[in-house]
Chain A
């Protein structure tokens, strides 16, 4: 009898030895005369359990993890092939509380399917969204996106329907759909997981966007730090063309959409949509002044719809299940689900897809299980390197665009990075400036020069040189950067700096306290 084993090829699983585990499983099964097929899936995002191996049984899948090479023989001895008992046995993966209590709309296939198989994708409900879209006209598709309340998941939170409508109404001989897959925020990996684990969800979302806007060409601009995602996307796109879900006459509709994946070259600023377009055109990734907006004058000067991976991948579900069903999740003006990424110093880090409105504390305590170091949580950075550091008393803030903004924070791309009590917040504030200085495109003065002066001034603060006067200077710099920068890179760098200063002032006056304490 043939047995199917599922071993992730997600970058985290690979980083923890998944390839070696797959090879050992195959070799050990062969020695036993066991006929096994190994399917390389993405990850379900329960990263402390990776590599998590699943086996198909008549009663459904049974998971084991984290599996190392030295566990393989014992697992097969214990009857892994039939879901047998073993200390690493986790049972039905979908009943693991971490996963069971989530609301997975966008990620429901990730970790389940063979990422590069069109057939497997369709078996698990794929392309129903595009089929629904093909029964509508462009206005109908855009109306569904608008009515779902979907806002750009890349960070800015701009209503997707308005953007789609603008591109749809633009008149041009050629329009483009561009996916911003330059997920550079520290603490974020939802895009990577999706592209490695369920790339057809992205391809389907972009194809629907093509149908809605009249764009026949699309690009995925992917950061070069994700070589596994690059390989998976290229393979999936090639398979999609062969299967007739990409290219000309998609699903026999007479409509065409051509998709290509392009690699960035290590520049955080290219996650800003106008820098991204410059880079895609083959130039330095320097931000453009807006207007004109990319929806009217984007790639090569043509109307271009630019959305993030998570925005596009929400769309197939919306088209399949209806705008209303999506809008029923969430709170206030933040509707639908947010793929939250829990990372940093945390015991149970992973991908948590939940309706907007869950609080930071619920994410960190209910899912995270405390710090990996075992020490108390001290600071939590939300929304990437441009997001605020929150202290304990702000952790009851719900993840909602407006609620986070009211606490001078941001949702960003949904990344949450936990720090324990050994963190030095003055060093973190200095790093925010240093990162901005390294990654600034250099076009506008507040960002280019402000960040460098910020590092110098923070160095003086840390050295205890006139801390009060220099902190005043830091505040001034932050004000200039906030008000005067051309894009979010310079404009939001003050957020981590000022939040660290506001909520953890004791870390900024340590050096100056030392001589006083010695007296």
Chain B
């Protein structure tokens, strides 16, 4: 089952309208759009700009500043691998080479079957139990390549 709905300007307009009462509504809107559609479609830019009385450049600039927001649909599942120092101290660099090799993709890329997109993150706060990952938002501590496969198999069910 797909986790995300296909892009719909009408649906997006409704989501945006639900947030315009907030002070500094841009990030909550972008999160809500990405949660619904899996990415922030470029068609959302003028809709947000109109709703918040901002220039399109301001909205575009905001979307592109943050690592979280993506302009295109990602894989069905999201894997975030921690690359920060505490995980490095537990051999994360080598582990990541093994994981990316097994998945057959690079950072920010999606596996050939569209099953998973891999993103680097810098600290998940699991630093005493590294290496660490988030798989669809669920933490995995003491990560190994096999543990990641098991976690992915679990979310696929």
Contact = CB atoms under 8 A, between A and B. Distances in A.
Contact of A266 (B90, B121, B126, B129): B121
Interface in A185-230: 185-189, 191-193, 224-228
Nearest to B139: A15
B134 A227 contact: yes
B122 A184 contact: yes
Contacts of A48: 128-129
A185 B123 contact: yes
B17 interface: no
Contacts of B86: 186-187, 343-344, 415, 417
Looking at B52, B68, B89, B129, the one whose CB has the most chain A CB atoms below 10 A away is B89
A225 B130 contact: no
A435 B88 CA distance: 13
Contacts of B134: 225, 227
A227 B137 contact: yes
Given A417-B85, A428-B85, A435-B122, A346 B66 contact: no
A266 B78 CA distance: 14
Contacts of A342: 128
Contacts of B90: 344-345, 372
Interface in A249-274: 262-268
Interface stretch (A77-85, A110-118, A281-289, A511-519): A281-289
Contact of B26 (A184, A264, A283): A283
Looking at A267, A282, A419, the one whose CB has the most chain B CB atoms below 10 A away is A282
B141 A15 contact: yes
Contact of A282 (B26, B130, B142): B26
A228 B136 CA distance: 12
Contacts of A11: 124-126, 139
B57 to A, nearest CB: 11
B12 interface: no
Contacts of B26: 282-283
A81 to B, nearest CB: 28
Interface string B8-48: 00000000000000011111101100000000000000000
Looking at B25, B122, B128, B138, the one whose CB has the most chain A CB atoms below 10 A away is B128
A467 interface: no
A187 B127 contact: yes
Contact of A12 (B27, B28, B89, B139): B139
Interface string B100-123: 000000000000000000000111
A384 to B, nearest CB: 8
Contacts of B137: 227
Nearest to B22: A260
Looking at A187, A381, A415, A423, the one whose CB has the most chain B CB atoms below 10 A away is A187
Contacts of B95: none
A167 to B, nearest CB: 18
B59 to A, nearest CB: 9
Chain A interface size range: 35 or more
Interface string A44-68: 0001101000000000000000000
Contact of B85 (A193, A420, A431, A439): A431
B85 A12 contact: no
Contact of B124 (A225, A267, A439): A225
B132 interface: yes
Contact of A284 (B23, B61, B130): B61
A344 B23 CA distance: 39
B65 A284 contact: yes
Contacts of A349: 127-129
Interface in B36-77: 52, 58, 61-62, 65-69
Nearest to A419: B89
A149 interface: no
Contacts of A161: none
A39 interface: no
Given A225-B124, A344-B127, A281 B141 contact: no
Contacts of A345: 89-90
Given A185-B123, A225-B121, A439-B122, A423 B89 contact: yes
Contacts of B138: 14-15
Looking at A14, A189, A268, the one whose CB has the most chain B CB atoms below 10 A away is A189
Contacts of A15: 126, 129, 132, 138-142
A216 to B, nearest CB: 13
Interface string A409-437: 00000010111100100001001000100
Contacts of A193: 125
A262 B127 contact: no
B84 interface: yes
Interface in A3-33: 11-12, 14-16
B29 to A, nearest CB: 8
Looking at A227, A299, A418, the one whose CB has the most chain B CB atoms below 10 A away is A227
A420 B140 CA distance: 23
B27 A282 contact: yes
B96 interface: no
A92 B28 CA distance: 44
Given A12-B141, A415-B127, A420 B23 contact: no
Given A47-B129, A385-B84, A385-B122, 10 more contacts: A12-B129, A15-B141, A16-B129, A225-B125, A262-B24, A266-B66, A283-B26, A283-B61, A344-B85, A428-B85
10 contacts: A189-B125, A265-B66, A267-B65, A282-B27, A285-B65, A300-B23, A345-B89, A381-B85, A415-B127, A428-B88
Question: Can you list the 3 inter-chain pairs with the closest CB atoms, starting with the nearest?
Answer: A349-B128, A282-B26, A15-B141
